[in-house]
Amino acid sequence: MSIIIDKETRVIVQGITGREGTFHAQQMLQYGTKVVGGVTPGKKGENVEGLPVFDFVSEAVEATDANATMILVPAPFAPDAIYEAMEAGIQTIVCITEGLPVLAMSQVYPRVRASKSRLIGPNTMGVISPGKCKIGIMPGHIHEPGNVGIASRSGTLTYEIVQNLSRRGIGQSSAVGIGGDPIVGSGFIDILELYKEDPETDAVIIVGEIGGTDEEIAADWVQANMKKPVFGYIAGRAAPEGKRMGHAGAIISGGKGTAKDKIEAFEAHGIQVGANPEELAEKVKSTIG
């Protein structure tokens, strides 16, 4: 099995006629994802990589039976793109776009949580179930099908960790980038709950970074709920207080959210922590073989 997406998932791309939208639609098609169309207002009737383009998500859903979307539109238009997908009944909304204002996401979040849609992101690499489907911008070739699930705040670190796992013969059931912004549609616990119930996920990796307390909260949840082995990696050990590192949510403030805090929380709750991607992969290999 896998979580969130599989080989039957039918995907549209909002912003498909833009440079990034076209490129990543092509990459997803090459991976084997069932991309069935795209949406760009005012471009109805055109096609991209042989895919029909529609003006509205509702039109695309009616014509293609799409149940997932990847959003690659400029940040000012991304909240409306999320709302449009949600109102059209799309089950899985993956918002790659970065730079959404926190105020906008504070309004998006409760609406999407009250709907039947699942939002991944914004500011995410996306989600992949190796060998089945990818919705996002990750390099598909480094992933191998297997039984380790990944939930991550960082796309680049996920790629490094995945490559180290794959080189050691350890495949992944799914990998989910929850996004690096202060407010995201699906947090660590949302994804961990899915991995907990997935019979083909035997172990889980949490990839965190400085800023906020999401990792500490996830560690509490793991100790109380997860029987499968959980591993962790925290980026930003050398980050100075008050300086944003990488993602919008990666900032230490008020003496909280440091890498030390998160690593200590992980270790105190039985989560094995790797000092680097190589060590992390070795810990996974020694535990699950």
Q: Which position among 24, 143, 247, 269 bears the catalytic label?
A: 247
Q: Which residues have C-beta within 8 Å of that of residue 166, sequence separation ≥ 6?
A: 142, 143, 144, 172
Amino acid at 48: V
E strand map for the chain: 10-14, 34-39, 47-48, 51-54, 68-71, 92-95, 118-120, 126-129, 133-136, 145-152, 172-177, 203-209, 230-235, 272-273
SS3 state of residue 254: coil
Q: Which residues have C-beta within 8 Å of that of residue 22, sequence separation ≥ 6?
A: 16, 48, 49
> Is there a catalytic annotation at residue 269?
no
- DSSP secondary structure, 39-95, as one string: E-TT-TT-EETTEEEESSHHHHHHHH---EEEE-S-GGGHHHHHHHHHHTT-SEEEE
Owner of token pair 């994804």: 191
Half-sphere exposure of 110 (CA within 13 A, CB side): 4
Count of CB atoms situated within 10 Å of the CB of 260: 10
With 0-12 / 13-18 / 19 or more C-beta atoms within 10 angstroms meaning exposed / middle / buried, residue 254 is exposed
Q: Which of 91, 118, 110 is nearest to 8 (CA)?
A: 91
For the annotated catalytic residues, the residue numbers are 247
